[in-house]
Structure 1
Amino acid sequence: MYAISRNTLLAGTALAGAFVLTISSAQAQLSTPAASPKSTVQQRVGLTDVTITYSRPSAKGRAVFGGLVPFDKRWRTGANATTSIKFSDEVTIEGKKVPAGEYGIYTIPKKGEWIVVLNKSTKMGADVDAFKDDEDVARFTVKTTKLPAKVETFTINFTDLTPATANVALEWELTGAKFKITSDVETKVMAQIDEKVVKNASPNANDLAAAAAYYYDNNKDLKQALAWLQKANATDPKFWNVHTEAKIRLKMKDYKGAVTAAEQSKKLALDAKNNDYAVMNDQLMVQAKKEGKL
């Protein structure tokens, strides 16, 4: 028999303890896929950032609306935590003004329509009985549609984008519902133009060109747009800005000026090896010559 020293016993005990601790730590780190995984979707609507965070349950062979999700009862619009929507600026949703901030999206599904509620509370989760109506920031009703194909997992997307609007589409199983977000682009852009172009003694070429393009795109004062763009192109001619000048002149029925600007833009585009703009300028020249009978 060999004698075992006290130090050896202590070392062995420490080693065994470390082994147990390692096993316990490994067990604590075990994770499995969530039944309703968390998802975040983001979209810039006009100049406003919109973020939606939600959990995505799946149908798994169950009848969803009128079954898993009862009609005429408040739903957290997803699973787990309350679905939330966050706006960086004030927006209008289905005609309702909603201040910048983060809100819970709650819905009351009905046959043929849903009541959608934005509420200050984002913490209720499944405890929708604790809902406080006086914390609503918007409430509206939207029609539902029958989807052309089954959506197995609850999905929220941004659809039908325009420069100032987007729809939020909620889809599950064969049911879809949408609500429209509108961002006040006009006020924000005009304020920037006023600050950076109108009241600025030395506006830069980029701001001048951007202001001119906004005026052209939104059917504003074309004479002012042309003046800004001529000033920008005089100091820093870019083929895309000179092309915009050609479009403005064409819209003003200055056909000869449109052709001249398009020729300059085409040359600059070819020098930059941008064939797309060269083609666009050719097309504009054809149109200007035809309309102006040149």
Structure 2
Amino acid sequence: MKKILFLLAISVASMGIQAQVKTPAPSPAATVKQVVGLTDVEIKYSRPSMKGRTIFGDLVPFGKLWRTGANKNTTVSFSEDVVIDGKTLKKGEYALFVTPKADVWDVFFYSDTENWGTPEEWSDAKVAVKTSVKPEMLNRNVESFTIGVNNLDNNYGVLEISWEKTVAPIKFEVPTAKTAMASIDKVMAGPSANDYFSSAQYLYQSNGDLTKALGYANKAVELDKNKAFWMYRLKSLIQAKMGDKKGAIETAKTSLAMATEAKNADYVKMNNESIAEWSKK
């Protein structure tokens, strides 16, 4: 009996050790998502609060690199290339670091996003874009550190960093006209070879309308300019499934020649096996 009670006590103690106490984070994590024109912008950061403290020039010293928030470095991502201060920032995710001063802030978009705070070893080679902005004074306090995307226009947005009585605006331009025209041109030009291929593949794999699938496959190979052997492979499979073994063999031979030229062993093997199978009487 004593042994059972002893084991039970150990079990309860173990459960207590494994339990996790939940308390509010001093600097809660936040994610901001905003579409600017046709560009997706996402910010991930932590939000410390003033709590009666003097922030800039004290808690956040002037002239010293700052993580732009708390905890893990703040990140900003763009789905398209953007322009900041006349410099192109390639689409992707960047850590956002700043060096605040009383009259100007230096802002860095840093390619290494895996830092807890600032990097142990700073590398200028990882600075994708650097710009400088003038901080503006507010007539009110911003208690919790805030980053937002404001002053939206089809062609630009403003990344605003706000805390205490200071806001630092970083304007970025987005390629809305270029992206929109590319989309318009694509749609107006009609379906691409890949669109027809995907449609034919779906109908073939789902046992759909094979006549329609073959029509789509024919369109795909007609529009293909890159010797896409996989498109001819699909057409041959559709032909074989429809009972046209002779046509399937001829199409498979075309796919085989292209796959051989491209040195794709898998498609060479598949085409050879299908030709042999379909050639049987």
Cα distance in 2, alignment partners of residues 169 and 142 from structure 1: 11
Q: How does 1:150-169 map to 2 (within 5 A)?
A: 150-169=141-160
Q: SS of the residue aligned with 2:61? A: coil
* Equivalent of residue 13 in structure 2, options 20, 32, 37: 20
Question: Which stretch shifts more, 126-135 or 58-67?
Answer: 126-135
Q: CA deviation at 1:34?
A: 1.4
Q: SS of the residue aligned with 2:133? A: strand
Q: SS of the residue aligned with 1:82? A: coil
Q: SS of the residue aligned with 2:125? A: helix
Q: How does 1:1-294 map to 2 (within 5 A)?
A: 8-26=1-19, 29-197=20-188, 199-200=189-190
Contact 1:80 1:125 (8 Å CA) reproduced: yes
Q: SS of the residue aligned with 1:18? A: helix
| Unaligned runs of at least 5 residues, structure 1 | 1-7, 202-294
Cα distance in 2, alignment partners of residues 62 and 99 from structure 1: 37
Contact 1:124 1:131 (8 Å CA) reproduced: no
Q: Deviations over 1:24-67 (max 9, x none)?
A: 222xx112211111111111112111111111111222211111
Q: SS of the residue aligned with 1:130? A: coil
Q: SS of the residue aligned with 1:186? A: helix
Q: CA deviation at 1:128?
A: 4.2
Contact 1:124 1:130 (8 Å CA) reproduced: no
Cα distance in 1, alignment partners of residues 43 and 101 from structure 2: 23
Cα distance in 2, alignment partners of residues 80 and 87 from structure 1: 22
> What amino acid is the match of 1:18?
S
Cα distance in 1, alignment partners of residues 183 and 93 from structure 2: 26
Q: CA deviation at 1:159?
A: 0.7
- What RMSD, in angstroms, separates the aligned Cα atoms of the two structures? 1.6
Q: CA deviation at 1:14?
A: 2.7
Contact 2:73 2:118 (8 Å CA) reproduced: no
1:128–1:63 Cα change, 3 Å: farther
Cα distance in 2, alignment partners of residues 114 and 129 from structure 1: 21
Q: CA deviation at 1:129?
A: 5.0
Cα distance in 1, alignment partners of residues 16 and 66 from structure 2: 41
Q: CA deviation at 1:144?
A: 0.9
Contact 1:55 1:83 (8 Å CA) reproduced: yes
Q: CA deviation at 1:168?
A: 0.7
Q: SS of the residue aligned with 1:20? A: helix
Q: In percent, how many aligned pairs have the same letter?
A: 39
Q: Deviations over 1:198-236 (max 9, x none)?
A: x239xxxxxxxxxxxxxxxxxxxxxxxxxxxxxxxxxxx
Q: CA deviation at 1:81?
A: 0.9
> What amino acid is the match of 2:117?
A
Aligned residues: 191
Q: Deviations over 1:257-290 (max 9, x none)?
A: xxxxxxxxxxxxxxxxxxxxxxxxxxxxxxxxxx
1:127–1:143 Cα change, 3 Å: closer
Q: SS of the residue aligned with 2:41? A: strand
> What amino acid is the match of 1:137?
A
Cα distance in 2, alignment partners of residues 92 and 131 from structure 1: 24
Contact 1:106 1:116 (8 Å CA) reproduced: yes
Contact 1:75 1:128 (8 Å CA) reproduced: no
| Unaligned runs of at least 5 residues, structure 2 | 192-281
Cα distance in 1, alignment partners of residues 74 and 35 from structure 2: 19
> What amino acid is the match of 2:177?
E
Residue 210 of structure 1 corresponds to which residue in structure 2? none
Cα distance in 2, alignment partners of residues 20 and 125 from structure 1: 34
Q: SS of the residue aligned with 2:135? A: strand
